[in-house]
Amino acid sequence: MTIDLPPAPAPDAAGDLVTGFPFPFPEDRYRYSTNVEPAGTPSVTAAGQWGAAVVDIDAEYHHELDARAAVLASDPTRHAVLPHMVPAAWDAMLTLMRELALAYPDHMHLTATGPDTWQWRNDLLGVEADFRYGDQATLGEEPLRYITSQVQEDVALLDQRDEQLFVDAGVITFAADWSFGFDVGMSFLEIHGPVPRVKKMGVITRAHEFLKRLQPHQPYRRTNWTLTIGRRLDVSTEIYPEWGPDRETIAHVDDTEFGALVHLRVEVQHLIRLPDSGALMFLIRTYMLPLEQLAGVEPWRRRAADVLAELPADMADYKGIIKYKDRAAQWLRDAAPTPPSPEPH
């Protein structure tokens, strides 16, 4: 067996990962839709809640930032800022600092020190910077790279021109089966070209029209989901040979290992119009919960089993889960709590 499972989070952290998990299924059946809603208010689930803030820090903070740094060190194409996107990168950095300071006032501090100078302090990382907005020498690093070393979210920046959106900048280290290096410079419509069904359903053209009209200070959010094997964040196309074979080997593990290895992977995606540059910021925050923990929340166990069992083959194939999604559904059904045995009389 060659599937690596990184160390499980500490028990209290594991609790946090369940209560904050953004369970993505409002119905027993899943289909693509332009599922956007205003951001910033908590969404209540059967185990807790998620989405109180646009940026989310949890027990995996240090681990995920280390993982991002390792990916960027080994593959520089996960970070790109096309020349016309430099103002958007500054706008994104300051917007994220504001969001962090708002959501975590005990640990994150942003102070204006002059008309265009700022002080930033992140006490969780022991990081401090005095910088002039737009002057990279004062920050010491490209601003998108700087701020993505302090948030768990992946960030893409889209330029709007000629009635279209283009993915022209980003730091994306945890892509679920796509390649940022390949997609950078492509339009929103081109990027979604391979997604089955959505053309006929008008999902992507509707989303495109919606995004082009998005206003500053009105963030929206949506979720997307898939399954992954192990707690591997970087399942990008670039390194497919490292994780792709797990989709075959998972067939040979026993049921206990299957429940520990197969994770429901959910992306909370925030869509934000940046106030100064007019660019669109797309945040992708990835959460993973193994089936064995998902099954501990009874409504989630039943709902996820129904969705996976019913999911049409073309969608399952596109998500890369066709070979094991039926077993995942059965595993969840078999994990039903056993009714108490009748009292002997």
Q: What are the CB-based long-range contacts (under 8 Å, 24+) for 177-184?
A: 177/226, 177/235, 177/236, 177/237, 177/319, 177/320, 178/236, 178/237, 179/236, 179/237, 179/238, 180/77, 180/78, 180/80, 180/156, 180/236, 181/75, 181/77, 181/78, 181/80, 181/238, 182/237, 184/80, 184/82
Interface pattern 130-169 for ligand HEM (x via CB under 6 A):
--------------------------x-x--------x--
Q: Does 184 bind ligand HEM (CB under 6 A)?
A: no
Q: Which of 7, 140, 194, 337 binds ligand HEM (CB under 6 A)?
A: 194
Q: In what order do the strands lie in the sheet with 108-112?
A: 108-112, 117-122, 127-132
Q: Does 212 bind ligand HEM (CB under 6 A)?
A: no
Q: Which of 92, 139, 184, 203 binds ligand HEM (CB under 6 A)?
A: 203
Q: How many chain residues touch ligand HEM (CB under 6 A)?
A: 22
Amino acid letter for position 146: Y
Q: Does 189 bind ligand HEM (CB under 6 A)?
A: no
Q: Of the listed pieces 45-53, 82-90, 144-152, 203-211, which binds ligand HEM according to CB under 6 A?
A: 203-211
Q: Does 183 bind ligand HEM (CB under 6 A)?
A: yes
| Rounded Cα–Cα distance for residues 272 and 92 (Å) | 9
Residue position matching structure tokens 């391979």: 194
* 206 DSSP 8-state letter: H
Which residue minimizes CB distance to ligand HEM?
Answer: 207
Q: Of the listed pieces 86-94, 120-128, 187-195, 303-311, which binds ligand HEM according to CB under 6 A?
A: 187-195
Q: Of the listed pieces 20-28, 123-131, 189-197, 227-235, which binds ligand HEM according to CB under 6 A?
A: 189-197
- The answer to whether 144 and 157 are in contact (CB under 8 A) is yes
| Rounded Cα–Cα distance for residues 33 and 81 (Å) | 30
Q: Does 222 bind ligand HEM (CB under 6 A)?
A: yes
Q: Which of 98, 222, 247, 333 is catalytic?
A: 222
98 is annotated as an active-site residue? no
Per-residue burial over 316-328, b = 16 or more CB atoms within 10 Å of its CB, e = otherwise: bebbbbeebbeeb
Task: Give whichever of 61 and 178 is closer to ligand HEM, judged by the CB atom.
Answer: 178
Q: Does 226 bind ligand HEM (CB under 6 A)?
A: yes
What's the gap between Cα 241 and its chain centre?
Answer: 22
Q: Which of 43, 149, 224, 330 binds ligand HEM (CB under 6 A)?
A: 224
Q: Does 43 bind ligand HEM (CB under 6 A)?
A: no
φ, ψ of residue 313 in degrees (nearest 5): -60, -40
Catalytic residues: 222
Binding residues for ligand HEM (CB under 6 A): 32, 34, 36, 156, 158, 167, 178, 183, 191-192, 194-195, 198, 203, 207, 211, 222, 224, 226, 282, 318-319
